[in-house]
């Protein structure tokens, strides 16, 4: 069940919000947990008991980390918890990838391949695994005491707004809100959440969905298309993935606010970045901060020699690429970004500081676009063919039907809103929509507008058979 389905928008969400808000405060966590369990079972019933078993074991393991006075035992339980969480992630997400590569090596030597039944991937496994890890490490590092009730722990991990695709919420940042959200439980706060949810819905339905079908058609031509269509395809994909993922994040953040939670921001106009370093402060922010705080800094961060800093950066981004999916193309995508982060530290930043903003933003967007080719294609050979076509190195042998004019309209709208904060008007618009306190009169206008957008979105979803979600199984 995704947020842009009619079932979620017209059945699940209204019933949940009604029950949640009429329930007494002490019962709201149980209502939210019950809804989250239904939400997960609806999408992946066969993995439900496995997930619950792993979470229950981890909950009591972390309790031992907190209560044990012996340092050795604390570390043993820490290792057990990390192995449990990472082991489950490794098996379900990477077992197929590992066996496929082993069989390729065996095949090259003429040896029989390993027989294997492919493992299905549970939805949201990367996100709830990372949150389990933050729970373990935040308690071990004494950033926060563990939760007393197992139901509160299950709520933290399984809370349905962020279950499928984040944002990744670190335990120490939300632990107190799980126990008490009364400070955020105001009409203004909940209405702001509704507006943000509608903005996210509009991003997904009116931009990502509207250009996504043509993107799929362009990338389906694995033998190549023209230079023009190659660039149209990758630019459109950059807009699709941004509005798809940031739209989902906005919907999750908005839902959280309607429940009294304050989820962290996950995107902040990443395509306006003036370097790849800045891009990663604005794209999938919660993943970047997770990798920084739970991997890069423990490895030494910037407090080591330059050579070790570069090693840490490339290692973190290789793992970041692999986290996105079990494919060499994802690894290459991570390495591509890691290499430019290193180059910027070595010498590029000194050059970028002297250039006008239009050139630095263009440089960053160009690097990101090349990276998206590897992210979007399934095989390395497909990525190389696509890049060759982008630069006219290979003549196209496939002619596509004319792209509908509506596609260009929605792509243009997406591009405008992707870069709009480079203007003073765009900055004011962003401030008003996301960070302002509204008067009663403004609430009336925004409420009417948001209901209208909601109704139109339902119409678009019902009329269209194309409603993908890129990050659904990450």
Beta-carbon contacts of residue 121 (< 8 Å; ≥ 6 apart): 92, 93, 473
Cα–Cα dist 319/169, whole Å: 19
Say how far apart CA 389 and CA 394 lie, in whole Å: 5
Q: Is 170 helix (H, G, I), strand (E, B) or coil?
A: coil
Spatial distance between the Cα atoms of 281 and 5, rounded to a whole number of angstroms = 31
Q: Which two tokens stand for residue 294?
A: 């739970």
Rounded to an integer, what distance in angstroms lies between the CA atom of residue 376 and that of residue 224?
15
Look up residue 180 and give its two tokens: 């008490």
* Other C-beta atoms lying within 10 Å of the C-beta of residue 14: 11
Structure tokens at 374: 């590897």
Q: Which residues contact 89 (CB under 8 A, 6 or more apart)?
A: 125, 126, 129
User: What is the spatial distance between Cα 407 and Cα 417, in angstroms, rounded to a whole number?
Assistant: 16
The SS3 call for residue 10 is helix
Beta strands in 49-150 (DSSP E): none
Concatenated DSSP letters of 86-114: HHHHHHHHHHHHHHHHHHHHHHHTTPPPP
How many angstroms from the chain centroid is the CA of residue 353? 30
The angle at the Cα of 470, spanning 464 to 473, to the nearest 5 degrees, equals: 120
Location of structure tokens 């090693």: 311
| CB-count burial class (<10 Å; 0-12, 13-18, 19+) for 383 | buried
DSSP structure class, residue 223: T
- CA distance linking residue 447 with residue 432, whole number of Å: 14
Q: 66, 324, 337, 443: which is the annotated catalytic residue?
A: 324
Catalytic, 324? Answer: yes
User: DSSP code of 355?
Assistant: S
User: Annotated active-site positions, please?
Assistant: 324
């Amino acid at each position: 069940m995704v947020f842009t389905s009619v079932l979620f928008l017209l059945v699940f969400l209204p019933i949940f919000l009604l029950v949640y808000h009429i329930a007494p405060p002490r019962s709201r966590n149980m209502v939210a947990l019950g809804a989250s369990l239904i939400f997960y079972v609806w999408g992946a019933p066969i993995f439900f008991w496995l997930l619950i078993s792993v979470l229950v074991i981890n909950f009591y393991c972390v309790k031992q980390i907190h209560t044990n006075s012996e340092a050795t035992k604390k570390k043993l339980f820490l290792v057990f918890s990390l192995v449990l969480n990472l082991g489950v992630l490794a098996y379900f997400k990477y077992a197929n990838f590992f066996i496929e590569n082993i069989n390729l090596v065996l095949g090259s030597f003429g040896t029989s391949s390993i027989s294997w039944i492919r493992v299905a991937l549970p939805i949201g496994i990367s996100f709830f695994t990372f949150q389990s890890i933050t729970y373990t490490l935040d308690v071990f590092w004494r950033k926060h005491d563990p939760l007393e009730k197992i139901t509160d722990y299950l709520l933290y991990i399984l809370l349905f707004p962020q279950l499928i695709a984040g944002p990744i919420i670190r335990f120490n940042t939300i632990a107190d809100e799980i126990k008490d959200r009364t400070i955020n439980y105001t009409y203004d706060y909940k209405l702001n959440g509704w507006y943000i949810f509608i903005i996210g819905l509009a991003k997904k339905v009116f931009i990502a969905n509207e250009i996504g079908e043509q993107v799929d058609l362009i990338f389906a031509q694995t033998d190549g298309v023209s230079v023009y269509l190659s660039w149209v395809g990758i630019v459109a994909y950059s807009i699709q993935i941004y509005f798809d993922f940031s739209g989902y994040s906005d919907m999750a953040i908005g839902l959280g606010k309607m429940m009294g939670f304050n989820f962290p921001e996950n995107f902040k106009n990443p395509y306006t970045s003036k370097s790849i370093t800045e891009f990663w402060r604005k794209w999938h922010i919660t993943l970047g901060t997770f990798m920084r705080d739970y991997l890069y800094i423990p490895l030494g961060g910037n407090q080591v020699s330059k050579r070790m800093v570069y090693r840490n950066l490339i290692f973190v981004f290789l793992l970041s690429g692999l986290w996105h999916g079990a494919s060499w193309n994802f690894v290459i995508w991570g390495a591509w970004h890691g290499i430019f982060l290193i180059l910027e530290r070595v010498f590029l930043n000194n050059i970028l500081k002297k250039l006008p903003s239009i050139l630095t933003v263009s440089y960053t967007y160009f690097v990101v676009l090349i990276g998206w080719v590897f992210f979007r294609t399934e095989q390395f050979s497909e990525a190389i063919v696509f890049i060759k076509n982008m630069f006219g190195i290979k003549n196209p042998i496939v002619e596509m039907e004319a792209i509908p004019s509506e596609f260009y309209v929605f792509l243009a709208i997406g591009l405008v809103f992707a870069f709009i904060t480079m203007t003073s008007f765009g900055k004011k618009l962003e401030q008003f929509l996301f960070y302002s306190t509204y008067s009663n009169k403004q609430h009336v206008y925004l409420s009417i507008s948001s209901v209208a957008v909601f109704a139109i979105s339902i119409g678009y979803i019902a009329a269209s058979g194309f409603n993908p979600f890129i990050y659904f199984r990450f």
